[in-house]
A and B are shown apart, each in its own frame.
Chain A
Amino acid sequence: MLELLGAAVVNLFELKYLLPLLFGTLAGMIGGALPGVTITMTIILVLPFTFGLDPLQGLAAMTGVYVGGESGGLITACLIGIPGTPSAIATTFDGFPMASKGQPGRAVWLGIWASVIGGLFGAIFLIGATGPLAAFALRFGPWEYFALFILALSMVAGLTEASLLKGLLSGAIGLVITVIGTDPIMAVPRLTLGSEFLQSGFQFLPILIGIFAFAQIMADIEKMGPGRTGEVHAVTAPNLRVSHLKIVGEIVSRPFVLLWSTWIGILIGVLPAIGGSAANIMAYDQAKKFSRHPERFGTGTPEGIIAAESSNNANVAGSLVTIMAFGIPGDAVTAVMLGAMIIHGIQPGPLFISQNPTVAYGIFAAYLLAHPVVLLLAAVGAGFFLRIVVVPKAVLIPVVLVLCVIGAYALNNIMANVWVLLIFGLFGYLLVKLGFPLAPLILGVILGDQIEVNLVRAIMTDSNPWLFLTRPISGTLIALAVISVALALWQHQRAQARLARPVDAEVEF
């Protein structure tokens, strides 16, 4: 394993891989620094640039975007109090107060070094756990795969902040989208209403671009108008010089916060479609709960920054494990990576590492190398990332939309994909306005075909439906799916009861 990793790292030092990694990380940091531009949107914008590259070049660029994006968000979070990405929200709580107290360099570099150290700890898990988990997944038959995908969907639906019912319905709508088109058994057109446009079904990348990028942009436009251009006015470049040795010392002298937050990040990354924002906030909350001085949180304490930043970068490693071992995207960013792999003829899943060792270890190497690249780019251009936020949204939005169109079009060089982007962009925006979470929908679209294929295979092999419950792994996974829905239901009811309590109190008086 280490030999393969060593060879992959050496291979990645070739200019043809190093440049995409460098540009990807830079794009990620810029996208991460720009408030309103998420890492998902950045990776969507980078996607069309990777079509002409070989698979490892493209995936190196995307890994760079992912790692760079998680780190880019913290710069604006610390210096102007606006998190560049949702996964830097908790970084703002202590990063901005610390910078406001005259220590901007300490705030930014504590975040960057915590990101890098947390990310590198995450790499140990990524490299060590992916192979064994993939080997375990090789024991899966269609029953187990079906159960695993159902578990992933139920977890995503249950863990969304909106109502559980809407999360489940959103996932079901995603599955419905995948049944439109030619069926996998008899190649019969299904629910196409005689339309040629619908006959080949919908590819998930244009849907994903529409739902995540377009719907997000529309939500940003809502807040614009006369006197509200969405512009952030020029920020004077603060002095970011620090003693790096002292900063690293500050981090490693708090091993519990660092390791516990990293572990939280990894675990949340492994769970499908939860993402770095949850990891960031949960790790911050845990650090505060375990602290001897919780009252210092929110005033500029280093523990807050270390917890928030080490967790969101470790979260990337967890997400990569899920996609590489099981073929299930850990979040929207890995969903785009999954799409890119499929375009290049690579099927992520248990056989991925054994069938494509060069690409798999190349991703590990890219993940490892992206961290020093982040350090380098932050050292050279932290001030530049800060200036990026003054780009007016009126300029940014049209350019982003053009790149979204190219991303959808370039998948097959056909306009149908652009129309799909438009239709699902509008659909996604309407769902957002109605309070439906989008993550279950997109996971339903991604997993729908696989759920159907494995269900059909299982029934074709043995028509006894009880096998889904009586086979040990499949039964356990389905039980976990039921437990996750029940748990979510219980949590939602508890939250509802908490909300209703003040009303009851008013009635009594």
Chain B
Amino acid sequence: MLGRDGIAGLVCLAASLWLITLTRGLPTPALVPIGPGFYPRIVLSVTAVLSAVLVIADLLARRRPVAGPSGGGERRNYRLVWVTFVIFSGYVAALTVLGYRVATLLFVLLLQVVLDPEWRRHSVRMVVVAAATAYLTYLVFEGYLSVLLPRGRWTGF
């Protein structure tokens, strides 16, 4: 039975082998000794070998008893991580639809609500932080640093 390392190694091994097959379609130059596939094949072969060794090392490690700290530790809130990731992905997608200012305002507000368990008590602060972040960053980057921030297809600004 494979562990976490073994599975990671297998995924890397499969990806490396698949990419090596893709390099076969690359052209071979007539005038120079090496072509565009030369270096990727070396790098991918090294990756494949290391991945295979990781899988083997994981299998061997599972046969041996290993002393070490057992389990415990701090409880992790992975649900919050995934919710944050989904909100952040939504923000990135919304930048070109709603425009920087609206998308940023909504993102900062929503993420604060998600991250702060006492969000009802801090609602005024949250609105102020969201509005200030959207407005001040827009002002500094567009006004002074010549960065043209994304415009929204729906909003026009």
Contact = CB atoms under 8 A, between A and B. Distances in A.
Interface of A is mostly: helix
Nearest to A452: B39
Interface in A468-485: none
Interface string A413-439: 101001100100010010000111000
B46 A172 contact: yes
A489 to B, nearest CB: 12
Nearest to B50: A169
A191 B23 contact: yes
Contact of A503 (B29, B51, B65, B81): B65
Given A48-B147, A434-B4, A499-B66, A191 B19 contact: yes
Contacts of A190: 23, 26, 36-37, 40
Contacts of A413: 147-148
A186 to B, nearest CB: 5
Interface string B95-123: 11000000010011001100111110010
Interface stretch (A78-86, A104-112, A403-411): A403-411
Most buried by A among B36, B40, B107, B117: B36
A223 B76 contact: yes
A169 B78 contact: no
Contacts of B43: 172, 175-176, 179, 448
B147 A179 contact: no
Nearest to B54: A165
A418 B133 contact: no
Interface in B16-36: 16, 19, 22-23, 26-27, 29, 32-36
B102 to A, nearest CB: 13
Contact of A459 (B33, B74, B96, B146): B33
Interface of A: 48-49, 51-52, 165-166, 168-169, 172-173, 175-176, 179, 183, 185-186, 188, 190-191, 193, 218, 221-229, 392-395, 397-399, 401-403, 405-406, 409-410, 413, 415, 418-419, 422, 426, 429, 434-436, 448, 452, 455-456, 459-460, 463, 499-503
11 contacts: A48-B147, A185-B29, A186-B35, A228-B77, A229-B116, A229-B118, A398-B115, A415-B92, A422-B88, A452-B39, A500-B67
Interface of B: 4-5, 8-9, 12, 16, 19, 22-23, 26-27, 29, 32-40, 43-44, 46-47, 50-51, 53-54, 57, 64-68, 74, 76-78, 80-81, 84-85, 88-89, 91-92, 95-96, 104, 107-108, 111-112, 115-119, 122, 125-126, 129-130, 133, 137, 140-141, 144-150
